[in-house]
Amino acid sequence: MMNTVKSEDPTVAEQAGRPRVRDRIFETACELFYRHGIRAVGVDAIACEAGTNKMSFYRSFASKDELVAEYLRFKDRNFWIWWDGIVAPHQGQPRAQAEALFEAHVNKTCSKESRGCGLANAAVEIVEDEHPGRAVVIAHKSEIRRRFRALAKAMQAREPEQLGDALMLLMEGGYLARLTFPKGGPVSSALHAARVLMDAHGA
Amino acid sequence: MMNTVKSEDPTVAEQAGRPRVRDRIFETACELFYRHGIRAVGVDAIACEAGTNKMSFYRSFASKDELVAEYLRFKDRNFWIWWDGIVAPHQGQPRAQAEALFEAHVNKTCSKESRGCGLANAAVEIVEDEHPGRAVVIAHKSEIRRRFRALAKAMQAREPEQLGDALMLLMEGGYLARLTFPKGGPVSSALHAARVLMDAHGA
DNA sequence: TGAGGTTGTTACCGATCGGTAACAGTGGCG
DNA sequence: CGCCACTGTTACCGATCGGTAACAACCTCA
C-alpha cells in the first residue's frame, strides 16, 4: 500500500510508465488535429482511429477542449526544441542563427505533409477566449515575437523591433501561404527576403 | 405572361429586386462567418440571427457549402475593389501603389473589428478539396501573388518574383498575426518592412 | 487465490448538425 | 376578386456532437 515500484502516484504515472492507451489516443489526436483541423475532428473519430473507443478516451482526458490544449502545448514544446536545435550550432552569431532558422523553416514548410503551423491554425479555429487552448496560442506567438526581436537586437541591427517584427511576419506568412500553395509557393522566397531585410538593417 | 417589368426571370430576380430575405440571410452569414469562423456557425444560427428560419434559408441557398462559397466570392470581390481603390490614385507609380497598399493594409488590419483575412481563415478551416469554397480561396491567393509580382516587375526591381513573394508573405503574415495580437502587434511594422524590401531591390 | 486497476463494450443522454415535407398566412398584381 | 410567389411555422429526418453509466473481461501483483 505504501511505495510500490511503479504507477502508484497518478501524477507520476501520467508522465512515466502509463501503458499505452492514453499515448495512442494523444498521438492520433495530434495527427488528426494537424491534418484536418481541430473542429473537423470529433472525439469518436480520434478514439476509433486510435483503436479504442470513446469511453477510454474520457478515462484519459477530462474533455475535448482539454485535449486540444494539450495538443497545442505539445506543438509549442516541439517548436522550441526545433528552434533551439537550429540555433545551437551558431551560438553567438545571431545573423547566422536567423538564416539557419529561415532555411529550416522553408524546408519544413515546403515538405509534402506540411499543413503550416498547428498553433497558427488553431488561432483561426479557436475564437472563444475561455477556451483553454487560446492562451497557449497567444503565449506561443508572443514568445516568437520576443525571440525575433531579441535576435534582431543581438545582430545590432538598426530598428531591431521593426526588423524582428518583419522577420516574424515573413515566417507567419509562409505558414499561411502553405495552406493554399503547393511546394513551389511564396514560402520559397522567405529565406532570401529575410537576408535582404537583415542586410538593409545593417545586421 | 411574357415580359412584365420585374422579377419574371429567376436569374434576373436573384441579382436584382429580390425583396430582402435572401439578402438579409447572406449579410448575416457573412458577418458570422467572418467573426466566428465558418465551421463554428450553423445554419440555424444564421437564419435565426437574420430574423427568419431554416426553411427560408434553404429556399434561398442550395446548401451551407454553397453559401460558404458565395461568402468567399463576396470577400474576393470586395478585396479587389479595395485593392483597386487604393492603387488607382497612383497610376503608373508602382512603388507608390505598393506603399499605399501596405499603409491601407496596416490600417485595416489594426482596426478593432478585424479578424484578419476571411479567405485566409477559410484556407485553414476548409481542407476538403471537393468543397466549393476551396477553389475560390486558391484562386484568390494565386491572384494576390500574381499582382504582387507584377507590381514588383513594374517597379523594375531586381529579382521581381522574389520581391513580389516577399511582399505577399508580409501581408499574409499580418493577417495571421492579427488573430493573436491586439492592435499594436507585428502588423504595425508591415509598411516599414515593405519599404525596406523595395528599397533593397532598387525599386 | 484474490483484489485492484486498466481496458473493452454497449447503451444511453440531450443537443446540435445539415436538410426536408407539408401547410398556413400574406402581399402584390392582373 | 383570384391567382401566385414569397414567407413563416412546425414537425420531422438521420447523423453526429461532447459526455456518461454500468458491466464484463483482463492483467498484474501481493
Mean pLDDT of B113-141: 98
> How many whole angstroms separate alpha carbon A119 and alpha carbon A136?
8
Name the residue with the least CA to C1' distance from nucleotide C17.
B42
Which residues are CB-contacts of B185 (< 8 A; sequence separation ≥ 6)?
A: A145, B110, B177, B178
In this structure, are residues B188 and B126 in contact, taking their beta carbons and an 8 Å threshold? no
Q: CA of A18 and C1' of D28: distance in angstroms?
A: 14
Residue A88 · residue A157 · CB < 8 Å: no
Asked whether strand D has any atom less than 7 Å from the CB of B52, the reply is: yes
Is residue A54 over pLDDT 80? Answer: yes
Q: Which of B6-10, B14-18, B180-184 is the most confident on average?
A: B180-184
Residues B98 and B162 in one domain: yes
Distance from residue A45 (CA) to nucleotide D15 (C1'), in Å?
14
Distance separating alpha carbons of residues A116 and B139, to the nearest angstrom: 19
Residue A145 in contact with residue A168, Cβ under 8 Å?
A: yes
**CATH value at residue B41:** 1.10.10.60
Do residue B155 and residue B55 come from a single domain? no
Whether A56 and A69 share a structural domain:
no
> Min CA distance, B139 vs chain A (Å)?
9
Residues recorded for chain B:
203
Structural domain total, chain B: 2
Taking an 8 Å cut-off on Cβ atoms, the answer to whether A142 and B197 are in contact is no
Strand C atom within 7 Å of B64 CB: yes
Q: pLDDT per residue over A131-156, tens digit each?
A: 999 999 999 999 999 999 999 999 99
**Could you say which residues from 44 to 63 on chain A have a Cβ atom under 8 Å away from some Cβ of chain B?**
none
Mean pLDDT of chain B: 92
Contact A176, B172 (CB under 8 A): yes
In angstroms, the CA A19 to CA B196 distance is 55
Residues of B within 8 A of A173 (CB-CB) are 168-174, 176
Instruction: Cell 487604393: give the residue.
Output: B86
Whether residue A105 sits in one domain with residue A185: yes
Measured CA to CA in angstroms, residue B164 lies from A53, A194, B186 at distances of 49, 14, 20
Q: At which of A61, A87, A103 does a domain end?
A: A61
> How would residue B129 be classed by pLDDT, with cut points 50, 70 and 90?
very high
Asked whether strand C has any atom less than 7 Å from the CB of A51, the reply is yes
> What confidence tier does A6 reach under pLDDT thresholds 50, 70, 90?
very low
Residue from the list B37, B39, B175 with its beta carbon closest to the beta carbon of A176: B175
Q: Which amino acid is at B61?
A: F
Q: How many CB atoms lie within 10 A of CB A24?
A: 18
Q: What is the 3-state secondary structure (H, E, C) of A24-54?
A: HHHHHHHHHHHHHCCCCCCHHHHHHHCCCCH
Work out the pLDDT band at B93, boundaries 50, 70, 90: very high
Q: Tell me: do A25 and A118 sit in the same domain.
A: no
A127 in the same domain as A45: no
The answer to whether the CB atoms of B200 and A201 lie below 8 A apart is: no
For A58-99, the pLDDT digits (tens) are 999 999 999 999 999 999 999 999 999 999 999 999 999 999
A26 shares its domain with A121: no
Do residues A91 and A119 both lie within one domain? yes
The whole-angstrom separation of Cα A41 and Cα B71 is 24
B19 pLDDT band (50/70/90 cuts)?
A: low
- Residue pLDDT, tens place only, A173-195: 999 999 999 988 999 999 999 99
Query: Is A168 part of the contact surface with chain B (CB cutoff 8 Å)?
Result: yes
Does the pLDDT of residue B7 top 60, yes or no? no
Instruction: Round and report the angstrom distance from CA (B49) to C1' (C20).
Output: 21
The residues, ordered by sequence, that sit 6+ positions from A146 with a Cβ below 8 Å of its Cβ are none
Closest in A137, A162, A171 to B193, CB measured: A162
Same domain? For B44 and B76 the reply is no
Q: Based on the fold, state whether residues B148 and B102 are members of the same structural domain.
A: yes
Q: Could you identify the residue written with the cell 477542449?
A: A65
- What range does the domain containing B102 cover? 69-200
Domain boundary pick from A61, A84, A101: A61
The rounded distance, in Å, linking the Cα atoms of B12 and A71 is 50
Distance B30 CA to D16 C1' (A): 25
Phi-psi region of B202 (alpha: psi -120 to 50; beta: other; left: phi over 0): left
**A169, A181, A190: residue with CB nearest B141:** A181
Same domain membership, residue A98 and residue A30: no
Q: Are B173 and B116 in contact (CB under 8 A)?
A: no
Task: Please report the pLDDT score of residue B184 as a whole number.
Answer: 85
The model's pTM is 0.91
Task: Determine the average pLDDT of the residues in B55-81.
Answer: 98
Same domain assignment for residues A44 and A68: no
CA to C1' distance (Å), from B50 to C11:
39
**Of A192, A116, A185, A180, residue with least CA distance to B179:** A116
Burial of residue B39 (CB within 10 Å: 0-12, 13-18, 19+) is middle
Q: If pLDDT is split at 50, 70 and 90, which confidence band does A19 have?
A: low
A192:B159 CB<8 A: yes
B65 touches strand C (CB under 7 A): yes
Of A141, A192, A197, the CB nearest to B193: A197
- Identify whether the C-beta of residue A81 lies closer than 8 Å to the C-beta of residue A104: no
Kindly report the bases of strand D lying within 7 A of a protein C-beta atom: 5-11, 16-22, 29-30
Specify the pLDDT at position B203: 83
The single-letter DSSP state of residue A57 is: H
Query: Does the structure show a pLDDT above 80 at A30?
Result: yes
Does the CB of B102 have a partner CB in chain A at under 8 Å?
no
A91: buried, middle or exposed (CB in 10 Å: 19+, 13-18, 0-12)?
Answer: exposed
* CB-CB neighbors (< 8 A) of B142 in chain A: 180-181
